[in-house]
Structure 1
Amino acid sequence: MEGCPVYWDHWSLDRFLIFFVSVAFVLIGIQVTMFHYRQNFHHKSMWVPVVSSPIFFATGLALTFYNAGWLRMLFVLFMALGVLDGLVGVYFHAKGVRVRVGGWQMRNFLIGPPVVLPFLFTAISALGLIAIYWR
């Protein structure tokens, strides 16, 4: 029927990757929440990945089972925001390491904000975009 959403007819690679990205955002969201809670959310930007992770999960999970065009566009928008959010997080985490006593010393990378975690947020978001656009 015209105007009706297209339902998935099998578990294609793009459908599996969208599901994987969705589940990954649950796990990343839990980790980010614990780290930012430990720091008492001292900067308002710490709330962005905490709030966006469950939204990304719900959107991806819905898209996994209901392949509607508007849902795909919403997922693309959220994944683009996830890439941007991760890159902003890299900046803030690197800045957090830099302002510690001793600056860029290895011990500050070990005990300071995890610089790699925002890259993971970016990478998972990029994988979501790849799942949509790869042909």
Structure 2
Amino acid sequence: MNWSMWSIERVLILFVSLAFLMMSIQVTMFHYRQNFNHKAMWVPVISSPIFFITGIILTLYNAGWLHNLFLVLMWFGVVSGLIGFYFHFRGVGVRVGGWALRNFLIGPPITLPLMYSALSVLGLIAIYWKAW
């Protein structure tokens, strides 16, 4: 493969896809540790591998419908990450002691859903790059 011929958009989509593979592993471990006690925990566990697979296929096969699918999935990732932030922040608050510093340290990681949204935004930047 001649990487010097790849556009920045293509490289960003590849990066975002691989990052979602790593994110998939991380959210699965954290939510498995909590025994999936809330149905919303399944959203990033199921969607992250879908984001990864779609992004890899889009990186290798440039098709309009794949761009549209990736676009929709990335918007879904932004929204679901923000909803996840709400659940994680609320989860810290329901622990004994409320929003004490120790609960932020040992409770649900409030930055992980924000990272999920941030990766999705990076995917959106890659898709919208040529429109600017």
Asked if these proteins are the same fold (TM beyond 0.5), I'd say: yes
| 1:101 correspondence with 2:96 | yes
Aligned to 1:110: 105
Between structures 1 and 2, the one with greater helix share: 2
| 1:60 correspondence with 2:55 | yes
TM-score, normalised with respect to structure 2: 0.94
> Gaps spanning 5+ residues in structure 1: where?
1-8
1:113-132 → structure 2 map (5 Å cutoff): 113-132=108-127
TM-score, normalised with respect to structure 1: 0.92
SS class of match (2:36): coil
Instruction: Please identify runs of 4+ aligned residues in structure 1 that moved more than 6 A.
Output: none
Whichever residue aligns with residue 85 of structure 1, its letter is S
Deviations 1:70-102 (A, max 9, x none): 000000000000000100000000000000011
1:134 is displaced (CA, Å) by: 1.7
1:15 is displaced (CA, Å) by: 0.2
- Residue identity over aligned pairs, in percent, reads 66
The aligned length equals: 127
> Gaps spanning 5+ residues in structure 2: where?
none
| 1:74 correspondence with 2:69 | yes
